[in-house]
Amino acid sequence: QSALTQPASVSGSPGQSITISCTGTSGDVANYNLVSWYQQHPGKAPKLMIYEGSKRPSGVSNRFFGSKSGNTASLTISGLQAEDEADYYCCSYAGSSGYVVFGGGTKLTVL
Amino acid sequence: QVQLQESGPGLVKPSQTLSLTCTVSGGSISNVDYYWSWIRQHPGKGLEWIGYIYYSGSTYYNPSLKSRVTISVDTSKNQFSLNLSSVTAADTAVYYCTLIVGASNAFDIWGQGTMVTVSS
């Protein structure tokens, strides 16, 4: 059961858009439409931002957009705001071989 | 709105069993749409899924921890628990209890987390 691959860090200026990638395998991201994304501020519990690849929970800004192509899922944040600075984690269902796998996390810096 | 609260010792000795409880409020642990899960985060590191349980008692564990993990449900107390045996310093982490609603496999609700240190 290998972790999903995310870039260690990304950055952008206020108002810009950024995209965080999450690369898995045919055993997880590619085979299931069950990718979720979490935002974590320092010292806080993670917060669900995207589920089932592209759906937003109630209360999550429509500036957050999830997508998938093949074995890579992506999280795009548009109109960057200072409050978006946080760590972001992707997660995928991985079937009966491992059930749940997380990415290593990406630190987003808003310049 | 369901809320989760972890409780348990903050310090565990090596080779002993780490035991944590998650108290559920605002909802029933017997809800057929809910899966109850534990996730941990080593200091300064990423998230690691430990396992989850359905109210019926069906369990699913991370293969890398399966030999040491037991997750159980106490419907009378509206709680679920984590036992992790034979702990070492590598098990030092913040432990979160979480809730999956439905078949999304997404962790919708999180407890605040509890730090557990393994040290003699």
Asked if the model's pLDDT at residue A41 lies above 70, the reply is yes
Nearest CA in chain A to B49: A100
Task: Give the CA dihedral A51, A54, A56, A57, nearest 10 degrees.
Answer: -20
A101: tokens are: 């796998």
Note whether B49 contacts A102, CB cutoff 8 Å. yes
Closest CA to A108 of A10, A18, A15: A10
Percent of chain B with pLDDT over 90: 92
CA B71 from centroid of its chain's CA atoms: 7
CA A3 from centroid of its chain's CA atoms: 13
Note whether A1 contacts B64, CB cutoff 8 Å. yes
* Mean pLDDT of the region B88-113: 95
Contacts A103 to B, Cβ<8 Å: 46
Note whether B47 contacts A102, CB cutoff 8 Å. yes
- What pLDDT sits at residue B37? 97
Strands B11-12 and B114-118: parallel
Q: Tell me the per-residue pLDDT of B77-99, one tens digit each, with 9 for 90 and over.
A: 999 999 999 999 999 999 999 99
Say how far apart CA B71 and CA B50 lie, in whole Å.
Answer: 9
* Mean pLDDT of the region A44-65: 97
Say how far apart CA B10 and CA B107 lie, in whole Å.
Answer: 24
| Residue A85 pLDDT class (50, 70, 90 cuts) | very high
Closest-CA distance, B43 to chain A, in angstroms, reads 11
Asked if the model's pLDDT at residue A2 lies above 90, the reply is no
Estimate the share of chain A in helix, then strand, then coil, as percent rounded to the nearest 5.
5, 50, 45
Note whether A38 contacts B47, CB cutoff 8 Å. yes
Considering only CB atoms, A102 lies closest to which of B46, B61, B63, namely: B46
Nearest CA in chain A to B65: A98
Amino acid at the residue A84? D
CA B113 from centroid of its chain's CA atoms: 10
Q: Tell me the per-residue pLDDT of A11-25, one tens digit each, with 9 for 90 and over.
A: 999 999 999 999 999
| Residue A1 pLDDT class (50, 70, 90 cuts) | low
* Mean pLDDT of the region B11-24: 98
Instruction: Note whether A91 contacts B: Cβ–Cβ < 8 A.
Output: yes
Considering only CB atoms, B105 lies closest to which of A1, A89, A93, namely: A93
Closest-CA distance, B61 to chain A, in angstroms, reads 8
* Mean pLDDT of the region A49-71: 96
CA distances A52 to A91, A105, B45, Å, are 10, 18, 24
| Residue A29 pLDDT class (50, 70, 90 cuts) | very high
* Mean pLDDT of the region A68-97: 95
CA distances B24 to A100, B30, B109, Å, are 22, 11, 11
Asked if the model's pLDDT at residue A49 lies above 90, the reply is yes
Instruction: Report the mean per-residue pLDDT for chain A.
Output: 95
Residues linked to residue A40 through DSSP beta bridges, in sequence order: A87
Q: State residue A73 phi and psi, 5-degree precision.
A: -100, 155
* Mean pLDDT of the region B17-31: 96
Instruction: Note whether B60 contacts A: Cβ–Cβ < 8 A.
Output: yes
Closest-CA distance, B31 to chain A, in angstroms, reads 20
Closest CA to A110 of A80, A90, A88: A80
Contacts B113 to A, Cβ<8 Å: 45
